[in-house]
Amino acid sequence: MKTRELGRSGLRVSALGLGCMGFSHAYGPATEKEKAIRLIRHAFDLGYTFFDTAEVYGTQDDPHANESLVGEALEEVRDRVVIATKFGIHFDRESGKIPSPLIADSRPEVIVRSVEDSLRRLRTKTIDLYFQHRIDPRVEPETVASVMKDLIRQGKIRSWGVSEANEQYIRRAHAVCPIAAVQNRYSIMARQHEALFDTLQELGIGLVAFSPLANGFLSGRYDQSSQFDQKTDYRSAMPQFTAEALRQNRQLLELLNELARRKQATPAQISLAWMLAKKPWIVPIPGTRNAARMAENAAAAAIELSEAEMAELENQLRTMPMSEVYGGTRLKG
């Protein structure tokens, strides 16, 4: 697979990374451990060198299961991959709500404990990219960045980033300890963070795009008969999967299908190729538990959309009706 650099960070990764959350969290019952490990290794064999996880991507029985899976799967190839993980939130599992509300906690002492636990579960001496998972309004960005500077000095992390942060937070944090990447929700259906592109370009910060297929909706493989487990699958509460949304998004899916036919590709590949063509420092991290989808996504890195094709696509997207799309789990105050 082609590679690209996240901004001017020096972190060179596969053009698409693998979002590993779904193996144990948010997309139905957890994948059986050995199968998940095989799939993660299969991704590496396909050319993925960038793997994204977090300390909270787990199950009720094992809240940190995802990091352990990624650590075990990649231990033998650790020197050939870039691993990103995250700190700074935990779930309010007592709420009884699906998705569970998030509680932010980026106090320095919490971060210090988190990084040690993540290093152990990931079976590594250094975390390549350490993201603040969500902004903690009680902790100043300079405080978090100072902790990151110390962790880099100690060799426990190589670089750091922030997720779902605004421009002011990014600039204040970056001034203390340079940010390598911002991780935000970004897809054809969720483009609000394009407002940050000029800032990211100026500061040399990469964008790691999560949910680049709008939680799978842009694959075009869902219809009114699709059903999701209300206890374990967040898609059961996502607005883009309702019957009304399918009607609202018909024109979008037709557009993607038409371009896919022209490029001998799939709608998902067109959605990913569009994102790769937007900026050379954007790296999408689609997640999947299906080996065929994993290969399909990887092949999107070889699809090139011309300037004319991008202009045509952008022109149509500008006025096209679309449904609401899932915007993330609520952060408790």
Q: Can you tell me whether residue 59 is helix, strand or coil?
A: coil
In angstroms, the first-to-last Cα distance of the chain is 42
- The CB density around residue 311, as the number of other CB atoms within 10 Å, is 11
Q: How many CA atoms lie within 13 A of 301 on its CB side?
A: 23
CB burial class (10 A; 0-12, 13-18, 19+) of residue 177? Answer: buried
Question: Which phi and psi angles does 83 have, rounded to 5°?
Answer: -110, 130
DSSP 187: B
Is-contact 297 48, C-beta < 8 A?
no
For 18-44, give the DSSP string. Answer: EE-GGGTSSBSSPPPHHHHHHHHHHHH
DSSP 240: G
Q: What is each CA distance from 146 to 49, 111, 140, in whole angstroms?
A: 29, 11, 10
Query: Which has the closest alpha carbon to 124: 74, 87, 86?
Result: 74
The residues annotated as belonging to the active site are 57
Question: Which residues, in sequence order, are bridge partners of residue 84?
Answer: 52, 129
Burial state string for 88-103 with b = 16 or more CB within 10 A and e = fewer than 16: bbbbeeeeeeebbebe
DSSP 60: S
Residue for token pair 């019952």: 29
Residue for token pair 């994993």: 294
